Amino acid sequence: MKIRLLCLGNKMPGWVTTGFLEYAGRLPAECRLELQEFDLPKRGKNPDIPRLMAQEAAMLSAALKGNERIIALDVTGKAWTTEQLSQQMQYWMFDGRDVALLIGGPDGLAPELLQRAEQRWSLSALTMPHPLVRIVVAEALYRAHTILINHPYHRA
């Protein structure tokens, strides 16, 4: 199974790339995590938010592959414990499809992407900066995977 993290925004600080790659690199080939970044549309002083969200949705939709399980990262989604995420990962692996995790822009994901998603995952009720979300997702997936293989990394 391949997990693709599709994110709006690029040109991240070095610490973001380092953190993401640290945890993504720990995952085995059968549970590979890849990052795909997209340019964030320019926002002026009085941005047309619906138009910008539609542009963002078009970019993310074009990158989706036919049979991927789509999971939207959204504050209104379900919050999973590490153990529940581990169960989700196990289900995803047994399902046999690749997974696309979607992270929207500053205004979130467009409604059409939220409707298209099979699941919605909330990392926290807190608002997090998008660069940090990449690292949190990578670490959470790595930690959940260690539970599946009985590795001592996760100590609950």
81 is in an annotated binding site: no
125 is in an annotated binding site: yes
pLDDT value of residue 156: 65
113 is in an annotated binding site: no
Calpha distance 53→45 (Å, rounded): 16
Half-sphere exposure at residue 82, Cβ-oriented, CA atoms within 13 angstroms? 16
127 is in an annotated binding site: yes
21 is in an annotated binding site: no
Q: What is the mean pLDDT of the chain?
A: 94
Number of domains into which the chain is organized: 1
pLDDT digits (tens, 9 = 90+) for 12-37: 999 999 999 999 999 999 999 999 99
66 is in an annotated binding site: no
Report residue 107 CA to chain centroid gap.
Answer: 16
1 is in an annotated binding site: no
Whether the CB-CB separation of 117 and 99 falls below 8 Å is answered with no
Q: Does the structure show a pLDDT above 90 at 71?
A: yes
Domain that holds residue 61: 3-155
124 is in an annotated binding site: yes
Give me 51's structure tokens: 């138009």
CATH at residue 33: 3.40.1280.10
Which DSSP letter does residue 75 get? Answer: E
Note if the pTM is more than 0.85. yes
